[in-house]
Chains A and B, each alone.
Chain A
Amino acid sequence: DAGVTQSPTHLIKTRGQHVTLRCSPISGHKSVSWYQQVLGQGPQFIFQYYEKEERGRGNFPDRFSARQFPNYSSELNVNALLLGDSALYLCASSPRQGGETQYFGPGTRLLVL
């Protein structure tokens, strides 16, 4: 069975640009969450979507936005990129919202120059 997939795998952008990251959940999973992981730290929660609605938002600026599509795939958008946005962006899926196990994709490595 296919796991969580993310694209692209790597991305280089310059300050002020916009970026869109994509995620496809495990088949049958309706919840998608996004996390940011900087080097040496654990992942930090950004957003959770369940049944195409935002169900949770972490402590990130409004430059970060996301959406979930009818097929449960998701996009994370970041506007006006800053150097500090350089990180590994992780997508995780679970069957439903709540205290269930979340399964992570391989991540997108974003470098902002």
Chain B
Amino acid sequence: EDQVTQSPEALRLQEGESSSLNCSYTVSGLRGLFWYRQDPGKGPEFLFTLYSAGEEKEKERLKATLTKKESFLHITAPKPEDSATYLCAVNYGGSQGNLIFGKGTKLSVKP
């Protein structure tokens, strides 16, 4: 049973077309939820850490939010350089301090 599920698997947007990526989780005892950006063939680049429901964080065109069951990554007026795979991961009481990842959402932004 998947503990972290990301949707959609792929998303195509026009430049300037805002949208949201979803990450739902079924673990209990959440210690932290993490968003990363990954470009092809490279390591994940850290974006945000969220620790408790109701928390929000922003960075440029990205905003991450957290509820008790899911997190959203909102992308406002995206640009082609935002094209990448966005990974969500959780750390919880049973994971020995390690990250459990979803499969990612591949975002393509066309000019």
Decide if B98 touches A40 in the complex (CB within 8 Å): no
Q: Place the interface of chain A in its size category.
A: 20 to 34
Please measure, in the bound complex, the distance between the C-alpha atom of A103 and the C-alpha atom of B46, giving whole angstroms. Answer: 6
Please measure, in the bound complex, the distance between the C-alpha atom of A41 and the C-alpha atom of B42, giving whole angstroms. Answer: 14
Decide if B103 touches A42 in the complex (CB within 8 Å): yes
A79 to chain B, nearest CB (A): 23
Q: Does B99 contact A (CB under 8 A)?
A: yes
Q: Does B12 contact A (CB under 8 A)?
A: no
Count B-side interface residues using an 8 Å CB cutoff. 26
Q: In the complex, what residue of chain B is closest to A104 when comparing beta carbons? A: B43
Please measure, in the bound complex, the distance between the C-alpha atom of A34 and the C-alpha atom of B100, giving whole angstroms. Answer: 12
When distances are taken between beta carbons in the complex, the residues of chain A under 8 Å from B87 are 42-43
A76 to chain B, nearest CB (A): 14
Please measure, in the bound complex, the distance between the C-alpha atom of A26 and the C-alpha atom of B46, giving whole angstroms. Answer: 14
Q: Does A98 contact B (CB under 8 A)?
A: yes
Please measure, in the bound complex, the distance between the C-alpha atom of A6 and the C-alpha atom of B44, giving whole angstroms. Answer: 13
Q: Which of A4, A98, A107 is close to B97, meaning CB atoms less than 8 Å apart? A: A98
Q: Does B104 contact A (CB under 8 A)?
A: yes
Beyond A33-B98, A42-B103, A42-B104, 12 additional contacts (C-beta under 8 Å) are A43-B87, A44-B101, A48-B97, A58-B98, A88-B41, A90-B44, A99-B31, A99-B32, A99-B51, A100-B32, A101-B49, A109-B41
Chain A residues in contact with chain B, CB under 8 A? 4, 6, 31, 33, 35, 40-45, 48, 55-56, 58, 88, 90, 92, 97-107, 109
